[in-house]
Structure 1
Amino acid sequence: MYPDRVVSGMRPTGSMHLGHYHGALKSWLALQAERPCLFFVADWHALTTHYDDPAIIEKFTWDMLVDWLAAGVDPTQATMFIQSRVPEHAELHLLLSMATPLGWLERVPTYRDGIDNLANRDLATYGFLGYPLLQAADVLIYRASEVPVGEDQVPHVEMTREIARRFNHLYGKEAGFEQKAQDAVKRLGSKRARLYNELRTAYQQEGDGDALQQARAMLEDAASLPMIDRERLFGYLEGSRKLILVEPQARLTATARLPGLDGRKMSKSYGNAIALREDKASVTAKIRRMPTDPARVRRTDPGEPARCPVWQFHVVYTDTATREWAEKGCRSAGIGCIECKQPVIDAILAEQEPMHERAQAYLDDPSLLRAIVADGNEAARKLAQETMRDVREAMGLSPT
């Protein structure tokens, strides 16, 4: 078994805003404290929709990395890197494309959604059709156990699992596997070997899940056993062949949804976003200009919070007592809309203050950021090269 790893990435196609922070980055901050995480800027993915204007990608790549650090991503806990600096992503994508059915790519829901929502762009390209396969390669290259996603991205993870399963079925055919596995059992020592065989029988003949977990735990503790033997024994235990690519699990992110200033999804293209590191005066002006319940034409008119975009910001940013005050004051016309907005302004500015402070060090000395990313690129590439060594060997592409 491979160690638990989390992999996630973002496309550098625009400035990061508070919607990104509450929708993804906060979950990253929690995950980096739990297990090894790899977070990458998906600059190749940005080309799938912005191939005709690549100049923006370089700028947004470095801006995004500063935003991650400003939000609290810790390079001592997580590996931060740039996708295109690890060419093994592209190599695995190419090799996986040789055996991935075309229909698997065409059925991904976000493919058709993208065609419909980006009708102003020419997306009749292989790059756009094949981006789910590149996403799969991004995850499989690190043998990740989990991928943090929203519900709309679960089909991508399911397809990644199918691709890994298909690859292992096609190429996990190690010559003499059964004999090599039995030899590996003997290397466990007589006591452990006997227990392993008993647990394997209990799982394969009786479907005993506890026996499977117990055997897995025993193998993980067998530190003196070579990694290749452990891989064989995990496969032999489950009745499968050699495990080359790991099937990741989707980890649904339980995060608050922050709408845009007009109540729609927060997006730079809609002009309804607050940037992650926006200045105080701009934030204040934007919140004060937010539309409210259209029924409150005059200050004395009662309103309904459910109809007001500002209320959704209260749900995310203010405490119970403040929300009760705002709700009561709105319905009774006891407070005006400007009064209602002030606690939201204060909370957003308080959230952004440490972000500005953390970002400033990297803005003052960009070499600090370059060093972090260089180290991340190197660490990520080392892991990717280990996977590609096994992939090439399985596909008969190893140098002779």
Structure 2
Amino acid sequence: MDLYPCLPLLVVLLQPALCTYNCSSDDERTPGNSDITVDCGAATITLEINLCTAQWSGFNTTDLALNGKHNITDCLGSIDSSVDPPVIRYQLPVNHSQDNPCRQSLQIVDEAPDPAGPFSSFSSIQSVIITGYIDTPRSDQGLISYSTDLYYHFSCRYPLEYLINNTQIVASSVSVATSDNNGTFIDTLEMGVFNDTDYGRPLSVPSTGLELRTRIYVEVKAVNLTGNFYVLLDHCFATPTAYNMTQMEQQNFFAGCSVEQRTSVTSNGLSKVARFDFETFRFVQHRDQPKSSIYVHCIVRLCEPSKCQELLSACSKRRRRSLTPFGQESTDSATVTLGPLYTAREDRPFAASHSDDAPSEREDGDVTGLVVGVVFGSAAAALLVLGTWFALKKFYWVGGLPHALA
């Protein structure tokens, strides 16, 4: 091995280990921003540090640790020499629990939405920002030092609301995912439709379509979601065609605290699963078609349990909130879409005829005669009683009394 490239390091930095890795002369410099790469995953944040520049600066791999935790083995990195240049790799779980020995800073922030985005009607949106650092032990001896301290700062921003749309339902559930450089929780969201209250039997749509007023059970859940975030449905609605931003024709199932009469929200904002059910209907624009298509959409919000409860409590308090109102869109929302579901065309039965319950004229005459006869009969009986009484009275005073005294 040619030892000449290593000679300055042996003399100046006393780092012979640098020559054991595939390092080039380009790495003989002070570390910069390009020497750290960050992958913001949904469950794990992966960090990679250029091994060569760190060692050229006079540090071993064991000198670098996550968030200042130099005495904890789990917070130290692992060397990967199979890549060029070799790197020190760190993996940090995306959570803020006590079980994470390399705990990082996690902050929920309110932000203004993009006025041209799908959540422009929201007053504010929320994101979770996770920050941390990788550093070397500080030089704390003496007044001055000729060695540099290394400090790599990283940050991952995760929006808490997303727009998921135009996903056609095939069987029982749909999982839609996209990703970007900032990281996303969208791949943990799923929507499914069922035909029972136990949410155990996936919905099966017959070829002729579902009968009108069939009860449909919808479930939106977060699968393998790291951290304490619950699922809150801000707004669920249906359209006759696939979702688009300019669509005006829609049937609301519920928006925030306002729930339609034939819709029931059974669980929302209480766990990582939200559920509601509704009765099938048809769009009148499909009146000339044998089936009516229904696309179901939900604006989904991920929120901390306390924040979900705070938003839900507004339904009982009925007051204006300073944060994003429950039921209004924000840039931290996601629209989950199912469809199309098909309902059969409505068959309209003929109206039943009115029954003729009026009595005939003959029946009226018979009833009237009966009443008149009873009245006249009663009057004749009364006259007969009065006549008999007067006759007896006259007989008693005129003829009966003298005979009685004789």
Q: What TM-score range do you get, normalising by the shorter chain? A: under 0.3
TM-score, normalised relative to structure 2: 0.19
Q: Which has the higher strand share?
A: 2
Whose RCO is larger (CA < 8 A, sep 6+)? 1
Structure with larger Rg: 2
